Amino acid sequence: MSRSRRLSLGAVILVVNALQWVIAEAVTAAAWNDPPYSYARNYISDLGVPDCGARFQGREICSPAHTLMDASFALQGILFAAGVVLLASLIEGRARRVVTVLGVTHGVAFVLVGIFHGSAEGPKYNLVIHVGAAIAGILCANTVVIVAGRLRSLGLARPYRVFSVTVGVLGLLSELGVAISTGTAGAFERGGIYSWLLWSAVTGTLLLAGRLPRPAVLENVPV
């Protein structure tokens, strides 16, 4: 596969990934109606818990469409990793290896997030793996976004680089706010996840629209 085709495929994958997550989350949240699901209070992980009627950290959990959200978690990890690896062909040297490792690690982590649900019910290792994998995945994805904005050698426009760094940093900072209040934990958690989903959608769209440098433009750009 040519470099140009890898970039186009990577761009499509990133856009599709962002869309599938948002749609799966909205559908799963809509199926949760007793009590109503709260985007501000409930964690995204609550949508993947199969134990209807369970209580966890003061939240009553009942997600009838939990299978859809768990599948979306795992699919997101696979698609994001694939998209990042394909787009890493723009980069040379150590930075390329770093971005590739971060993307693949994120992918493995979110596959685990989808397999091991975030419930206090069942074996304790279930929740431990879920939380640990989620933290690793969030850190890796937001770091990829920040790195993408700091690679000046790619000749990317300054607004895009500022956007990438800002979104990635805000994503990491947002995760720190999860513990501020149980009433806003879900909102802060989403800040740390929607950050890389937004970046994926924007980056993929700009690449497909020809607004980011393509291989022919980058041939003589030093890395």
Q: What is the pLDDT of residues 77-116, one digit of tens each?
A: 999 999 999 999 888 888 999 999 999 999 999 999 999 9
Answer yes or no: is 27 within a domain: yes
Answer yes or no: is 39 within a domain: yes
Contact yes or no for 73/113 (Cβ under 8 A): yes
Contact yes or no for 148/203 (Cβ under 8 A): yes
Answer yes or no: is 116 within a domain: yes
Cα radius of gyration rounded to whole Å, the chain: 18
The number of distinct structural domains making up the chain is: 1
Contact yes or no for 39/28 (Cβ under 8 A): no
Answer yes or no: is 93 within a domain: yes
Answer yes or no: is 69 within a domain: yes
Answer yes or no: is 219 within a domain: no
> Quick one: pLDDT at residue 180?
82
**pTM across the whole model:** 0.90
> Quick one: pLDDT at residue 1?
67
Q: Which of 15, 14, 72, 61 is nearest to 34 (CA)?
A: 61
Answer yes or no: is 220 within a domain: no
DSSP state letter for 207 = H
> Quick one: pLDDT at residue 222?
38
Answer yes or no: is 36 within a domain: yes
Q: What is the pLDDT of residues 144-198, one digit of tens each?
A: 999 999 987 677 889 999 999 999 999 999 998 887 877 888 999 999 999 999 9
Q: Which of 100, 110, 105, 38 is nearest to 74 (CA)?
A: 110
Task: Supply the range of the domain harboring residue 107.
Answer: 3-214
Q: What is the pLDDT of residues 113-140, one digit of tens each?
A: 999 988 877 778 889 999 999 999 999 9
Helices (H) and strands (E) in the chain, counts: 7, 2
